[in-house]
Amino acid sequence: MRSTPPIRVAAIPGAHPYVRAITQADGTVVTLPDPIVDPAHPERWWPPAMLDAAWIRANADRFDVMHVHFGMESLPTGRLEGAVDALDELRIPLVFTVHDLENPQLTDQQEHRRDLDVLVPRATRLLTLTPSAARRIRDTWGREATVIPHPTLLDDAPPPALGMRGAFTIGVHLRDLRPNIDGVATIASLLEALGGLRAGGVPAAGRVLLNATTRDAEAEAAIERMLAGRVDCTLVRRARPDDDALLDEIDALDVAWLPYAHGTHSGWVELCFDRGVPVVGPSHLPMAEQHPGDYHGLDAATPSAVVARRAIEAATRVGSAERVALVATRLHHRRDERKATQEQHASQYRAVMSEYQR
């Protein structure tokens, strides 16, 4: 029987898979449900209603800690500052996980930087996911951030299907061409790599996956032109996949190629690691440190074909028994890591609560 009451966290957003993954299932930590902001779409949590001075004052007796993860960009001007002011007045600790030093949903980062300039200096405790991000926080704001690595978001996913394939498949998920995805430059780099692999005797094929609805019609048209008539790279247009379909798409790859022009951390890197698929991506982004043994960095000095070959040589084949065994082993270790991550978060909550009770 638990002798102490649970730690009540106003997590923003409470229903996000990351937040669920870092929250202990034994009731040590409980998160408040996200308020419904649109009755017509009850699953929608943005703009986050809890990150509001009036909500905080009206609900101060319902939570012990506020923990901000995502959603600041959807707030009206001034509301973030007002929320932090209210937390200060009521002496409620604020934990902020710096997932994004650059917001992947935005091209112009000025507003995001203003949000960071509010939260990073004033948060009671800062967390982040990689040492590189922690260094950037220290260099920019002079504050230390505790590094707690990204936990697995998978639990009971089925193992990859068996069945060996032919050529090595290198896949790029362009999704809906959101602002941090540079589809044109990515496809150019991939096609260059495929040509270099062929010249080196490595049988490889590209697969470019794109949502039926995108945010950048010009880039979409350019990508279609680049891939028209190609026999070494296929363009797959489909509706946005659900979680099961997405895992099937990842499982069908020997190597995943990241299309990011900017960003910080990546849930995609986590999914690929969990499913045993090595990643090729920009070497300068903090996400390269999430799973450095499985991340093959692209830079201006190294031909993309060289990087792709390294990733292929490190990969287990699609549909192989080795891939299935690797996924099973990683899942076992990742579940243990997630328990440690949950306890680290609970420890951070206890620490900030203790500071405010002095």
Whole-Å CA distances, 150 to 18, 97, 318: 8, 11, 25
- Give the number of residues written for the chain: 358
Distance (Å, rounded) from C-alpha 172 to C-alpha 169?
10
Inter-residue contact 242 to 206 (CB < 8 Å): no
Question: What letters, b where the CB count within 10 A reaches 16 and e where it falls short, cover 212-240?
Answer: eebebeebbeebeebbeeeebbebeeeee
pLDDT band at 164 (very low <50, low <70, confident <90, very high): confident
Is residue 62 within 8 A of residue 32, CB to CB? The reply is: yes
Could you tell me the CATH superfamily of domain 168-318?
A: Glycogen Phosphorylase B; (3.40.50.2000)
Helix (H, G, I), strand (E, B) or coil at 326: helix
Is it true that 7-153+337-357 and 168-318 share their CATH fold?
yes
Domain coordinates in residue numbering, the chain: 7-153+337-357, 168-318
pLDDT of 330-344, one tens digit each? 999 999 999 999 999
Indicate the pLDDT class of residue 288, thresholds 50, 70 and 90.
very high
Asked if pLDDT for residue 82 goes beyond 90, the answer is: yes
- Whole-angstrom CA distances from 319 to 12, 65, 162, 251 are 38, 45, 4, 8
What is the pLDDT at residue 260? 98
Q: What is the pLDDT of residues 92-137, one digit of tens each?
A: 999 999 999 999 999 999 999 999 999 999 999 999 999 999 999 9
Q: Give residue 358's pLDDT.
A: 58
Mean pLDDT of all residues in 166-174: 97
7-153+337-357: CATH topology is Rossmann fold (3.40.50)
- Tell me what pLDDT residue 317 has: 96
Cα 91 from Cα 74, distance rounded (Å): 25
What does the pLDDT look like over 207-261, one tens digit per residue? 999 999 999 999 999 999 999 999 999 999 999 999 999 999 999 999 999 999 9
Q: Over pLDDT 70: what percentage of the chain?
A: 99
Q: Which two tokens stand for residue 312?
A: 């292929």
Residue 2 pLDDT exceeds 70: no
Note whether 170 and 257 are within 8 A (CB). yes
To the nearest whole number, what is the mean pLDDT of the chain? 96
Quick one: pLDDT band at residue 4, thresholds 50, 70, 90? Answer: confident
| Residue 241 preceded by cis peptide, ω within 30 | no
